[in-house]
Structure formats: structure tokens, C-alpha cells
Chain A
């Protein structure tokens, strides 16, 4: 019988150190019990399960994690963080990984998810509050999602929904601005 060929990976502890120091979260405490994955509601949309993300970090597979859809489709529901027997803040690790991609201006595997976050942040920066009525339109233009939605005609449903909401008095026409806008701008500048 032929022996299966084992692929060897070289462990790189630089990555786990980077994450533990940067986030203060002890990924090394993970003993792979998979409780996080078992309770995660969105595993069906993930390419790596939460426990695999933890293991990949321990092994130093930085590239694979940075390119994974998982960190973006994580719904931040905090179930994993709540249940981990080793008190590892898994949702916090997902956040830290997303933030690093943003900081290094890297490519997000789920670019639309990131596009929406960025439009949301731009709105806060501009006015101090989010103007929900304008958000969806801006997202569609920015992400190019309107092209897809035009093709599959779902854009019609969305326009109808928007119109119904407007009729029901749930959409404001004019955005609100706060007085402390300069303060917000300073927070944004300091974070860069």
C-alpha cells in the first residue's frame, strides 16, 4: 500500500505573537475543542471555521487567514466568545484580523462587506451620525452592487421597499449633523 503523502508546513510563530501582542487576546490557549464552531450561526458561509482560524494562527498561516472570507462573514454575534472554555475572545480576533487588512490597505476577500463598513464610517466622519436614507444608495454606487442587482432585477424590489418605507414615514429626507463635528474629525485623524 502506498503511503499517503504528508504535506509539511513550517510553523511561524511571528504571526501569533503579532496577534497576541496587538489584540491582547491569547490565541495560544485554544485547545481545539470546536465549541466556537459548533455554536457559530454562519459556518455555512465560511471557508474556514472559527476553530480553524485559531489553529491557522497558531501555525502561522497568515496569508490563508488574510485571504479568507470567514473574517468578513463573521456576524460578530459573540456566541463563540461567550462560550469558549478558555475565555478566548474569538470575535475579537476576527475584528483584529479585519482591522489589520484595513490598516495595511489589503484586499478583503468579501469586498462588499468592507465597502459597506467604509461607507458607514464616512457617514459618521461627515456628520457625526449615520443618515440611513443615503447609506444604501451610496453603498450601491461605491460597491458596484447596483450592476448585479440590475441584472437579476432585485433592484426593483429594493426600490419598491424604499418607496414603501418612505410612505410609512420611516425614511428621513434630510440628514442631521451634530455640533461637535470637529471633535469627531479629530478622533478620525488621531486614529490614522
Chain B
């Protein structure tokens, strides 16, 4: 038998598989009991889940790298430490989100009933009533804003990526950047002043004005995101199409846009999600009302963010029903954004370049 010549070691100590996961469970148990003790001793009024998870993560990051250093050596330990830090950051980022959703759901569920989605607040003082007028208002105003912003924004992006050269393109890019920075209240004032001028009514309020204000905020977002998506389309595809004798505009319409469509749709949905929660400009130009108004071109129109705001700031003598409605309206708003995101994902998947399997 030939014995292998001794060379540099190929083996090093290793922690058993899943030891990271096991250790995390252990750390969580430790901090969990700690916070339980705090609760029982009366120092904290309620059980602090977020605190337990956060300190569990931190303790885990410390112990896993220490244990790994002892068993596996410094290189692996660094690897473990960084992995643990990434997981901890992720947890830290997730905690407020979960906490927020949890709070909104627990507070909003009380009035999440049929009446809330089928009635307005007309002639309601105290409990009862609903937010149908605000839901309809939000949907109409946002839809019109999207109908204005998507064509304008998309065409601008197409111009910038496919046609724009030189000074004009640079000027447009600059203006879009400036537009991105417009505070939303200014957009509201702009729409207000515009319709004041157009109608001559010093106290003008209408839903369409809200759409205009929102599109001022939305257009730059749509331009930016669509521009990025169009730039991602490889130049080779454009050249392939042009070399087949396809005119430029058809190349853009039938090759570039379909290839980028999934990304563009996602960008548009993000823009919608961004403006659907705007309060200040709508408070200015769309105003608020307790009654149904399906017509965005006439009279005040309620929206969900403004609904939340007025319920919270102008409660009646019995505060509770107002607060409950505010929470339920917030929950509804979150659900609408969530639904839009799901729809966007479905559309994106449907249009994405077909990959094998």
C-alpha cells in the first residue's frame, strides 16, 4: 500500500448542518423567555414580540460567529458573521412592515363590514356609515391620473431612449428630474390654481383636478422607470429588426416595447402605488365630502387618504367610530395597493419574454 504523502490539510472543522438554524431557534428561545420575564415582572405592559425577535437576531449573529470561529476557523467565521448580519438586517427591515400590517389589520378589522363598502357617510353622526364614496373617488381619480400619465410618460421615455439626441433630450431629462422633486402639496396648488383660472371659481373643487395633481407627480416616475426598462432592451434586437427592413416606429412598437413590457407595467404599478396614498394635493383640489359623487368633473370628491385624515382629525363627540373608520379605510387602501401589485405581477408574467420550461 502506498500511503498518500502528507500535504496541506484539506479538512477543517465544520459545524453540523442546520446548526445555524438550530442556534437561531435557541437564541430566539432565550430572548423570548427574557421578554416573558419582563412582562411578568410588570416592566413592559404587553409582550414585546418585535424586541424578542430583534435581540434574538443580534444574539444569534454574535453566537454563530463566535462558535464558528472556535470550531471552523476565522475565514468561515467571517462568512457566518456576514450571513448573519444580512439576515439580521432583513429581519430589521421586515419588523416594521409586519408590525404595520398587523396594527392596521387588528384596528381596521372592526369596521371591515358590508356597510363600510356599500354606504357613504351622508347624514352619519357617530357610528355606522362607510367609505364607498371615498373608495370610488380614489379609484376614479387614480385611474384618470394613470390614463393621463402613462401615455405621456411612456411616450416621453420612448422619445428619450429611441429618438432623442442632443440638447432637446438633455433638457427633457433635466425637466423630468426637476419634476421628480416637486413636493406633492405644490402639485396640488398647481392643479388648484389651474382650475381656478380655467373656471374663474375661487373655491373650485373637483376630482379631475386631483387627477391632474397626481399626474404631475406620476409622470416623472413613469418616465424614469420606463426609460430604464427601454434601455435594458439589447441593441441587437433593434438592429435585427431594422435589418429585416422594418421601419423604426414598428421596431419600437413591435420589438422594443413587447420586450420591455413586463418591466414597464411593474414601473407603472409602482407609480400608481406611490400616488394613490397622496393626501395633501387631494385635500386642496378634490376637497372632502360625506356624500357620493361619481362625477370627477363636478363637485367635491372624497378619496381614501383624505377620508382617513378627516376621520382622524375631525371626530365627533364619540371618537371611537371615527377612529375605527380611519383604520378600516387605511386597511382598504393597503389592500387596493396590494391587489394592484398582484395584478401587475400577473401582467408582467404574462408578457415576459417566453423562456423555455
Chains A and B come from one and the same complex: no
